Amino acid sequence: MGVVVRPVRGALDLRAFVALPFALHRGTPWIPPLKLERYAFLSRRLNAFFTHGEAEYFLARRDGRVVGRVTAQVDRAFNEFHRSRWGMFGFLEFEDDPAVVSGLLEAAAGWLRDRGCDLMVGPMDFQMNDESGVLIEGFEREPMIKQPWHPRYYRERVEAAGLTKAMDLLMWERSVFDPDALSPRMLRIAERARSRYGVRIRPMSRLHLRRELDDFAKVYNSAWSRNWGFVPYSKKDLDAYALDLQLVYSRDWFMVAEIDGETAAIAITVPDVNQVLKRMNGRLLPFGWWYFLWKSRIIDRVRVGFLGVLPEYELTGVGAALYVAQYRAGETSRQAGGEMGWILETNHSMNRAMEELGGRIVKRFRVYQRELA
């Protein structure tokens, strides 16, 4: 029999949707998420995405057996900001069968066409700052927090189904955050930021983390607004993000740079909780909670996720001061290395900075597109 693709309806379908990658990727570098968290993330009642977006979930079956999944979603905040009519797809998982991926993508495209979209872009779960892209380089490496992992055939099947490249997302590695490896130029700029402009760097407050994220949003919504795929953070998004960050907060790695008491730049580097999730194997019980409580003794790497400067402070060198502070943190922290990004392939200034910091590209994720007109 052929492949049948239908929307997810009911608890049993949702359970199959969450379970599929556990079956597909067993024995690979993929790290299983906490199933309870996945159900909450997919909940239209609990996920802040659904305050400004809508989505449909699809399952592909052959002979009654689940062989693939995908979502189709429309982000009204994205389209309003960009004055576009894009639709997105995400959560793409499938067996190595061209009929499966074609059926899934056609179902997503049809749902998006019915809502007036003229371009389908993805994968992204549900937005670019969640897991995004198809892995096309770095298959041997375990994914870090909020990174997907895919086998090699995903790229081949997606491209054979007619999707074309929209953008590559790069991950840079620095195996050890060694301040001695910083270039003299970077150190000079950071010192000038301190002595001439009075840049002061402090840790974010865990107690007032939600309030700190209001300043983060000002930086993010200004510094990233010209980037491909950008969508501004709303208040509801920040409320949810604050709860997520409480679980991985680190005084060593959450930084605010101030000039005259005003926030000029922010860096959020996240300890890689995937190292804990690997031991939990998707379950909180019976012993998963124990690993989480001991996460500070398990995690030895970080993901540098956000480092942004308000445009009016770009010439002060505050960005360099944050880079240096991050490397200083690596001297004393258990997390002495990690990955930086993702960074758009078109963001030449940031990619040059990564080279100057001694990094190397270790993963590449590709976001695809298809015209729907």
Domains of the chain in sequence order: 4-170 (3.40.630.30), 177-335 (3.40.630.30)
Q: Containing H/E element for 65?
A: strand 65-75
Bridge partner residues of 6 (DSSP): 59
In this structure, the chain runs to a length of 373
DSSP 248: T
How far are the Cα atoms of 138, 148, 149, 176, 364 from residue 29, in angstroms, in the given order? Answer: 10, 10, 8, 22, 15
Task: Give the gyration radius of the chain's Cα atoms.
Answer: 21
Q: Quick check: 50 pLDDT over 60?
A: yes
Report residue 307's pLDDT band, with 50, 70 and 90 as the boundaries: confident
What does the pLDDT read at residue 185? 85
C-alpha span between 89 and 125 (Å, rounded) = 8
With tokens 């009016």, the residue in question is 312
With tokens 């209001």, the residue in question is 214
If we measure between CA atoms, which residue out of 103, 101, 96 comes closest to residue 151?
96
What does the pLDDT read at residue 287? 57
Check whether the bond before 216 is cis (ω within 30° of 0).
Answer: no
pLDDT digit string, tens, across residues 268-298:
999 898 988 888 877 765 656 656 666 777 8
pLDDT digit string, tens, across residues 174-218:
776 666 677 788 889 999 999 999 999 999 999 999 999 999 999
If we measure between CA atoms, which residue out of 233, 244, 306 comes closest to residue 75?
233
Q: Quick check: 80 pLDDT over 90?
A: yes
C-alpha span between 33 and 145 (Å, rounded) = 10
C-alpha span between 44 and 33 (Å, rounded) = 19
C-alpha span between 66 and 43 (Å, rounded) = 21
Mean of the per-residue pLDDT values for the chain?
Answer: 91
C-alpha span between 283 and 352 (Å, rounded) = 41
If we measure between CA atoms, which residue out of 175, 154, 19 comes closest to residue 100?
154
C-alpha span between 356 and 185 (Å, rounded) = 9
Report residue 353's pLDDT band, with 50, 70 and 90 as the boundaries: confident
Report residue 264's pLDDT band, with 50, 70 and 90 as the boundaries: very high
Report residue 356's pLDDT band, with 50, 70 and 90 as the boundaries: confident
Instruction: Name the 3-class secondary structure at 108.
Output: helix
Mean pLDDT of 159-174: 95
Give the Cβ contact number of residue 131 at 10 Å: 20
What does the pLDDT read at residue 97? 95
| pLDDT: which is higher, 25 or 330 | 25
How is residue 255 written in tokens? Answer: 């930084």
Q: Residue 165's Cα: distance from chain center in Å?
A: 19
C-alpha span between 354 and 348 (Å, rounded) = 10
C-alpha span between 51 and 44 (Å, rounded) = 9
How far are the Cα atoms of 62, 64, 168, 264, 296 from residue 267, in angstroms, in the given order? Answer: 47, 48, 23, 11, 20
pLDDT digit string, tens, across residues 97-143:
999 999 999 999 999 999 999 999 999 999 998 999 999 999 999 99
Mean pLDDT of 248-252: 89
Q: Quick check: 72 pLDDT over 90?
A: yes
Instruction: Kindly state the percentage of the chain with pLDDT values over 90.
Output: 70
